[in-house]
Amino acid sequence: MRLVDQYRHVRHQTNVVCQPLQIEDYMAHSAPWASPAKWHLGHTTWFFETFILIPFVQEYHAFDSRFNFLFNSYYNAVGDRLARAHRGSWSRPGVSDIYRYRQVVDEAIIGCLSVSEEQIPQEIRSRVVLGLHHEQQHQELILTDLLHHFSVNPFCPAYTQRRPRPSTPVEALHFEVFQGRIAEIGHVGDDFAFDNELPRHRVLLHPFALANRLTTCGEYLAFIEAGGYHDPKWWLSDGWDVCRANNWEAPLYWRREQGKWHRFGLHGLVEIEPEQAVAHVSYYEADAFARWSGARLATEFEWESVFASATPEGSFVDSQTYEPTTLRAIGEVWQWTASAYLGYPGYRPFEGALGEYNGKFMCNQFVLRGGSCLTPSSHFRTSYRNFFSPETRWQMTGILLAKDVLR
Ligand SMILES: [Fe+2]
């Protein structure tokens, strides 16, 4: 597909994600770590304007210079910004103004790209591709932020009325053994990858075993019913502190109503389906569940060594199920790994201000692998490294168990 068509497609998909929203939903902001949809729409547009149009297109003038303060997320090199906790505090410019902003920036970018592919300067091409992957990351965030907002609404609103396809029958849990070896890890090929997926390098793997499928809600429920949330022996010290301080009793969005466990999702409040992949657990919960199960979480290197050449089949957001519908490791729920989010040996951030995209977050976070049912499929690669701090629960995060294999 020509770059200009990729641009049109990805930008349109953001509109598709927002299509079910009512006007008030655009400003919804239920937690300081989330952002309203209106901010996501402006911020992704600001990204193209700031990193492509202003530096490279002489005749382009900023749509509104005040937007730099409003829509800069975390780029210190680009200037001051509105604190994230206040992203829901401005009702003007309105939603229609933000859509107008998107339209003006789209016209300018499409103008740049409406030449033969060879005539697009390499720097513009690579920044547009980065901007499109950035936009796709925010498409997932729009949904997870909206889900959190709806979850605190006593009316339990549903983003969509379409019910997910029923889960496939659950295969019995077993562990497949993989021999120790030196594995090549990291992105390979000329396609886009974030700087944090590079450089490709060698990693020593000891023999290990990996579960044949994701952990289910039913399996996780057994941990709850066995008192897992009340026994510190399963928990990391930090995790136990967070668990107790927040009175965690179950994954985020799980509620006990009339004696039955329910979970809130983009379809509203539904009864727990034991065969569905568990989601919305923190690293701490995933780790505690693994220890209780006599297992552990896989390292990101074990994960990639197994799935590097797997076909990326899964629900992804393209299916519009908005729920995990299979127990496969790709495209259903992101899986917490036991790996700290660090640069690979020889890691070099992107040049200039864009160097702030990934590298400065390489502290106090864990890597997640696999993509989710809210991730666009064209955004995913098996070398993809997502990352969040260990207490994070509002993302579509689940569990894939691993074990040591003693020689
Ligand atoms: Fe962003």
The pLDDT score that the predictor gives to residue 351 is: 86
Q: CA-CA distance, 14 to 139, in Å (whole number)?
A: 6
Contact 53, 109 (CB under 8 A): yes
pLDDT at 191: 94
- Show the tokens assigned to 407: 């020689």
Question: Token pair for residue 90?
Answer: 């401005």
Distance 69 CA to ligand 1 centre (A): 14
Going from the Cα of 304 to the center of ligand 1, the distance in angstroms, rounded, reads 25
Q: Environment class of residue 67 by beta-carbon count within 10 Å: exposed (0-12), middle (13-18) or buried (19+)? A: buried
Q: What is the structure's pLDDT at 188? A: 95
How far is the C-alpha of 46 from the C-alpha of 40, rounded, in Å? Answer: 10
Distance 44 CA to ligand 1 centre (A): 6
CB of 74 closer than 8 Å to CB of 33: no
Q: Which residues surround ligand 1, an ion (CB under 5 A)?
A: 73
Contact 154, 260 (CB under 8 A): no
Q: How far is the CA of 284 from the centre of ligand 1 (A)?
A: 26
State the distance from the centre of ligand 1 to the C-alpha of 20, rounded, in angstroms: 22
Hey, is 151 helix, strand or coil? helix
Taking the centre of ligand 1 as the mean of its atom positions, its distance from the CA of residue 226, in whole angstroms, is 40
What is the structure's pLDDT at 106? 98
CB 300 within 8 A of CB 182: no
CA of 303 to the centre of ligand 1 (A): 26
Could you tell me the distance, in angstroms and rounded to a whole number, from the CA of residue 73 to the centre of ligand 1? 6
The model carries a pTM of 0.97
d(CA 400, CA 215): 6
Q: What is the pLDDT along the chain (407 residues), one digit of tens a residue?
A: 999 999 999 999 999 999 999 999 999 899 999 999 999 999 999 999 999 999 999 999 999 999 999 999 989 898 999 999 999 999 999 999 999 999 999 999 999 999 999 999 999 999 999 999 999 999 999 999 999 999 999 999 999 987 766 666 789 999 999 999 999 999 999 999 999 999 999 999 999 999 999 999 999 999 999 999 999 999 999 999 999 999 999 999 999 999 999 999 999 999 999 999 999 999 999 999 999 999 999 999 999 999 999 988 889 999 999 999 999 999 999 999 999 999 999 999 988 889 889 999 999 999 999 999 999 999 999 999 999 999 999 999 999 999 999 86
The DSSP output letter for 271 is E
In this structure, how many other beta carbons lie within 10 angstroms of the beta carbon of residue 5? Answer: 11
